[in-house]
Chains A and B, each alone.
Chain A
Amino acid sequence: MTLFFLQNVAFDVPGRRLIDGLSLTIAAGAVTALVGRNGSGKSTLLKLIAGQTRPSAGRICHLGRDLADYPARDRARQIAYLPQVPPPAEGMKLAELVALGRYPWRGALGRFRPEDHDAVARAMARCGVEAMADRLVDSLSGGERQRGWIAMMLAQGAATLLLDEPTSALDVAHQVEVLALLRQMCHETGLSAVIVLHDVNMAARFCDRVVALEGGRLLLEGPMTELMTPGALSRVYGLPMHVAGRGGHAYALPE
């Protein structure tokens, strides 16, 4: 099934074209890694499919429906997005942050119903942050805070999760923890995720499919194994790489 369908999408900022005539299909029910060099348009593409910005030209469809036709709250029930640097949440407790994820369902005035409390509790349990419910978000460690924000996305109840470099500020243990959590959720509950990732080995370990960009154009789309070849990697990163395998997982090292 098709999660996102992009047709001739372009995005301009004054003086520069960041996404250039991109046509692309992203599969549903999988964890898709969005890779490419710095400035290749990964984050821009993620913002476009998250509905954060409108494309200058072309069409973006989510599950067969044009993204431009979604009212804002409908979109938020379908698509959850986590920006690259989660903003400081001054004076907010973790449980309150997670509860904000129910806004798309209840709006500004709707009362919280039992299912909302359930959704918040389940999301926190899923991400293992129940113990920190009463801690202030800004007092948590980087990994805990990141899991809290992911819990908010889960509470949102969206079937599509979009994350912009969720592991960039984390140590390797927390990187594995966050990515394994996302992968497990997608495989167990049928969610789809698109994750911008810098670390090609983390992408290979935890993602099913890959979309590679260069200069705002599509370089490669397919199963993860298609990226993990010396030829593809050198095209994406412009760097000769060794690829080795161990226990069914491929990993790459610069030569």
Chain B
Amino acid sequence: MTRWLILAAIAALSLWALAAFAALPLAQWPALPWHPEALTVPQILLTHGLMPRGVVALLAGACLGLAGALMQAVLRNPLADPTTLGTSSGAQLALVAATIFAPGLLAEGALPVALAGAAAVTLPVLALGARRGFAPVTVTLAGMLAGMLTAAIATTLTLSQGHYLLSLVIWNGGALTQQDWGGVHRLALALVPALALAALLARPLMVLSLGSEGAQGLGLRLAPLRLGTILLAVWLSALVSAELGMVGFVGLAAPAMARALGARTIRTRLLISALTGALVLSLADGTLLALAAAGGPVLPTGALTGLIGGPLLLWLLPRMAAQVPQATESGAREVHRSAGPGRVLVCLALLLMTCSVLTLFGGRGPEGWGFIAPALQAEFLPLRATAIVAALSAGALLAGSGALLQRLTANPMAAPEVLGVTGGAALGYAVAVFTLPQPTALALALGTAAGGALALAALSRHALRADLAPARLLLAGLAIGALATAVLGAIMASDDRRAWQILGWLAGSAAQVTPEGAAALAALALALLATLVAASRWLEILPLGPAVGRALGLPMTSLRLGLILTAGLATGAATLLVGPVSFVGLMAPHLARALGLARAVPFVAGSWLIGALLMVLAAFGARTASFPYDLPLGLVATLIGAPWLFLTLMRKSPA
């Protein structure tokens, strides 16, 4: 372990030194103490730019690594990291909103605004968590929901106010550029007491690793411990968000690396996670600095952490002990089964048809709300019908994949975008936009499909080798997704007009779909439903785990592979239309379960219908909310679904 850490430290230092010597030969470095008035400009750039930047990378990485390790220890979930509480997205939204509506607030610096935003998003998540005794699944799920919602709103604001927000796009990518030692002071002042607090929390967290019942048996009071730990982690990550922007993935990768390096007890794991976090961010930043010094492009560092962290995590996964995330914890879920699942399905189908017809004829025109005039029907109805069919099919595809993945992994957090397929598809789209001089719709579709397929292929190859334990599959998917996001972030920050086309597509729209495209999507959605119903007996057995599945003679490896491919293809097809905001894939299965659809056939069929219904409503909202302009479809889906799901989570009886 020590050897690896020292090697990484040497590599990080050499990269920084390479950039520093390229900027200013060692002979010209100023002697201490520095007096700015006596220094030349290159010397000031070194002492007030490069030097604090190197230190900030270490400090921020340590903060994120420590925050991630704390979250994973308290949630007992190797997929948890600071972003799963929505903290980073909250900070991002606050800064975006402040830049547009109240730029004066930012005069005092970004920190208070970002902290307020982070707290405003994290608070409801924590409130929900408290009602459930901070059961891990609930907190993670609520945090992810809140994060997705705020990120969607921030994207819309960025889209609608594009001319203001180039600096925000760069901030979103996580820029480590420093002008003085202020950032170093603030981060260091936070990190030292945080480390001390973490040391105090280590022993109770070790007890908590026995599970909540075992810990209570040893006399541990759970709620204060969980609240305190989460607050500490949130504070650390909010601080980094405010100081540097979105530096994702370090909080997820650092604790995973610490575990893989053999950090066994919570105390060493917290410490080593802080160290590995510092080294990862430092390596990423050093690489970019060296690249820029060699005449390469100047990229934000946060965009690169995924590039380093993603493949590293993929490499570490087979070396990790199997760790299954907490599927259920007592009290987190009450089993509710509908007495007449058939009736529920019929109601859902009727509701879907009614909504489709209503939104086909109804809407908002130049004269206000109402049904479409007969004279205009011939011209407008086909257009509207195409958009509705496309949205409906995309929703059904996403929801069907989500239901499939949740059955396959027995993990309520499994969703198409966790597979990394949406990220890969987005990457393919971006490549098509940038490499072709005049990309046609077909070229874009092919590029998107190829990207999704590549991500899927990478995942399947890896998954096959590692025997496909659910937690590993999800982690591998996250790693691939982060890789794609990192590349996209770098493209966005590259100050190219074509980036706006990608940003617009990322938020999703149903307006440009051709009738042929809509028909193809509808055919795919029906094919997916048929496949799911045909596979229902498998989907019934799979949640019972691989041992029971094998004992009953299920061909586990080929079956899992086939189902993942199905989910991946369905997701890729839907992503083409609605963009990679696949919130529906997570939400629809949850709603189906809340309606009491427990068995495989009603569950998948119900999820399929709910997904279609949600997207029909979303398409209607996108068309009418800011008439005559279309809003992004994925955004509206998120705005409808997230509060609903949040309420569903809140309403269930507390533990």
A contact set with B: CB distance below 8 Å: 50-52, 71-77, 79-83, 86-93, 96, 100-101, 103-104, 106-109, 136, 138-139, 156
Residue of B nearest to A73 (CB): B553
In the assembled complex, 9 residue pairs joining A and B whose CB atoms fall closer than 8 Å, in A order, are A50-B551, A76-B551, A82-B551, A91-B598, A91-B599, A96-B599, A103-B554, A109-B537, A136-B337
A76 interface neighbour in B333, B544, B553, B593, Cβ under 8 Å: B553
Q: Could you say which residues of chain B place their CB within 8 Å of the CB of A74?
A: 553
Name the CB-closest residue of B to A76. Answer: B553
- How many Å from the CB of B30 to the closest CB on chain A? 53
Q: Is the CB of A108 within 8 A of B335?
A: no
Q: Which residues on the A side are within 8 Å of B547 (C-beta)?
A: 52, 81, 83, 87
Asked, given contacts A90-B335, A91-B599, whether A104 binds B548 with beta carbons under 8 Å apart, the answer is no
Instruction: Tell me if A77 and B553 are in contact (CB < 8 A).
Output: yes
Q: Which residues of B contact A82 (CB under 8 A)?
A: 551
Pair B545/A104 contact, Cβ less than 8 Å: no
Contact between chains at B553 and A136 (CB < 8 Å): no
Shortest C-beta distance, A80 to chain B (Å), equals: 7
CA distance A82 to B544 in the complex (A): 12
| Choice from A76, A86, A88, A108 contacting B328 with Cβ under 8 Å | A88
- In the complex, the answer to whether B599 meets A80 with C-beta atoms within 8 Å is no
- Chain B interface residue bracket vs A: 20 to 34
B552 touches A103 (CB 8 A): yes
CB neighbours (8 Å) of B538 from chain A are 108
Known contacts: A90-B598, A103-B541. The answer to whether A156 contacts B335 by CB under 8 A is: no
**Contact with A75, one of B410, B553, B599 (Cβ below 8 angstroms):** B553
Contact A156 B534 (CB under 8 A): no
From A50, A86, A92, B598 is in contact (CB under 8 Å) with A92
Q: 0/1 per residue, B549-575, Cβ < 8 Å to A?
A: 011111110000000000000000000
Q: Please measure, in the bound complex, the distance between the C-alpha atom of A157 and the C-alpha atom of B553, giving whole angstroms.
A: 13
| Assembled-state Cα–Cα distance A104/B541 (Å) | 12
User: Of B335, B337, B541, B543, which is in contact with the most chain A CB atoms at under 10 Å from its CB?
Assistant: B335
List 5 A-B pairs, minimum CB-CB distance, nearest first.
A76-B553, A91-B598, A73-B553, A81-B551, A83-B547
Q: How far is the CA of A87 from the CA of B410 in the complex (A)?
A: 10
Given A83-B547, A87-B544, A103 contacting B335 (CB threshold 8 A): no
Chain B 529-541 per-residue mask, 1 if CB under 8 angstroms from chain A, else 0: 0000011011011
A51 and B550 within 8 A (CB) = yes
Chain B residue with Cβ nearest A138 = B335
Q: Are B337 and A72 in contact (CB under 8 A)?
A: no
B327 adjacent to chain A (CB < 8 Å) = yes
Kindly list chain A residues whose C-beta atoms are within 8 Å of the C-beta of B543: 87, 89-90
Most buried by B among A51, A75, A83, A90: A90
Bound Cα distance A106, B554 (Å): 12
Q: How far is the CA of A106 from the CA of B540 in the complex (A)?
A: 14
Q: Which of B393-449 contact A (CB under 8 A)?
A: 410
Whether B328 pairs with A92 at a CB distance below 8 angstroms is: no
Which A residue's beta carbon lies closest to that of B545?
Answer: A87
- Which residues of chain B come closer than 8 Å to A91, judged between CB atoms? 335-337, 593, 598-599
What B residues does A93 contact at CB under 8 A? 337
Given A90-B328, A108-B535; 5 other pairs, CB 8 A cutoff: A72-B556, A91-B335, A93-B337, A96-B599, A104-B553
B548 touches A83 (CB 8 A): yes
Between A107, A108, A136, the greatest number of chain B beta carbons within 10 A of the residue's beta carbon is seen for A108
Contacts of B335 in A (CB 8 A): 90-91, 136, 138-139
**Total A-B residue pairs with C-beta atoms closer than 8 Å?**
82
Interface centre among B327, B534, B535, B540 (most CB of A within 10 A): B540
| A50-B551, A83-B547 known; A109+B534 contact, CB < 8 A | yes
> Which residues 304-356 of B have a CB within 8 angstroms of A?
327-328, 333, 335-337
Q: Which of B336, B545, B550 gathers the greatest number of chain A CB atoms within 10 Å? A: B550
**Is the Cβ of A103 less than 8 Å from the Cβ of B328?**
no
Contacts of B410 in A (CB 8 A): 87
The complex places the Cα of A178 from the Cα of B566 at a distance, in Å, of 42
When distances are taken between beta carbons in the complex, the residues of chain A under 8 Å from B599 are: 91-92, 96
The chain A residue with its CB closest to the CB of B547 is A83
A72 and B550 within 8 A (CB): yes
| Contact present for A103 and B544 (CB under 8 Å) | no
Taking the closest CB of chain A, its distance from the CB of B257, in whole angstroms, is 19
Closest chain B residue to A87 by CB distance? B545
Closest-CB distance, A98 to chain B (whole angstroms): 12
Most chain B CB neighbours (cut-off 10 Å) among A87, A91, A104, A109:
A91
**B593 surroundings in chain A (CB, below 8 A):** 91
Residues of A within 8 A of B337 (CB): 91, 93, 136
B441 → A minimal CB distance (Å): 38
Contacts of A83 in B (CB 8 A): 545, 547-548, 551
Measured between beta carbons, the chain A residues less than 8 angstroms from B554 are 72, 103
Please name the residue on chain A nearest to B593 by beta carbon.
Answer: A91
Question: Which residues on A sit within 8 Å (CB–CB) of B537?
Answer: 103, 106-109
Find out whether the CB atom of A101 lies under 8 angstroms from the CB atom of B552. yes
- B328 engages A100 (CB within 8 Å): no
- A90 contacts which chain B residues (CB < 8 A)? 328, 333, 335, 543, 598
Complex CA gap A12/B412 in Å reads: 33
Q: Which of A80, A100, A109, A139 contacts B540 (CB 8 A)?
A: A100
Within 8 A of A (CB), among B566-606: 593, 598-599
Contacts of A156 in B (CB 8 A): 552
For residue A135, give the distance in angstroms from its CB to the closest CB of chain B.
Answer: 11
Residue in chain A with minimal CB distance to B543: A90
Specify which chain A residues have a CB less than 8 angstroms from the CB of B555 in the assembled complex. Answer: 72
Instruction: Give the complex CA separation of A100 and B335 in angstroms.
Output: 20
Which of chain A's residues has its CB closest to B557's CB?
Answer: A72
Complex: chain A residue closest to B551, CB-CB: A81
CA distance A86 to B552 in the complex (A): 14
Residues of A within 8 A of B534 (CB): 108-109
> Which residues of A are found within 8 Å of B535, using beta-carbon distances?
108
Q: Closest residue to B536 on the A side, CB-wise? A: A108
- Tell me how far the C-beta of A56 lies from the nearest C-beta in chain B, rounded to whole angstroms: 15
B304 to chain A minimum Cβ distance, whole angstroms, is 32
CB distance from B620 to the nearest CB of A (A): 32
Q: Determine how close the nearest CB of chain A comes to the CB of B262; give it in whole angstroms.
A: 13
Query: In the complex, A192 Cα to B378 Cα: how many Å?
Result: 74
- CB of B14, distance to nearest CB on chain A (Å): 33
CA distance A74 to B554 in the complex (A): 10
Q: Given the complex of chains A and B, what is the CA–CA distance between A107 and B598 in angstroms?
A: 21
Q: In the bound complex, what is the Cα–Cα distance between A86 and B28 (angstroms)?
A: 70
Cα separation A75 to B554 with both chains bound (whole Å): 10
Task: List the B side residues contacting A107 at CB < 8 Å.
Answer: 537
Do A52 and B598 touch (CB < 8 A)? Answer: no
Take A92-B599, A109-B534 as given contacts and tell me if A100 and B550 are in contact as well, using a CB distance cutoff of 8 Å: no
Instruction: Report the minimal beta-carbon distance from B206 to chain A, rounded to whole angstroms.
Output: 23
Complex Cα gap A51–B335 (Å):
33
Q: Which residue of A lies closest to B558 (CB)?
A: A72
Q: Tell me how far the C-beta of A66 lies from the nearest C-beta in chain B, rounded to whole angstroms.
A: 17
Nearest B residue to A105 via CB reads B553
* A88 and B551 contact, CB distance less than 8 A: no
Closest chain B residue to A162, Cβ basis: B551
Of B537, B544, B551, the most chain A CB neighbours within 10 A belong to B551
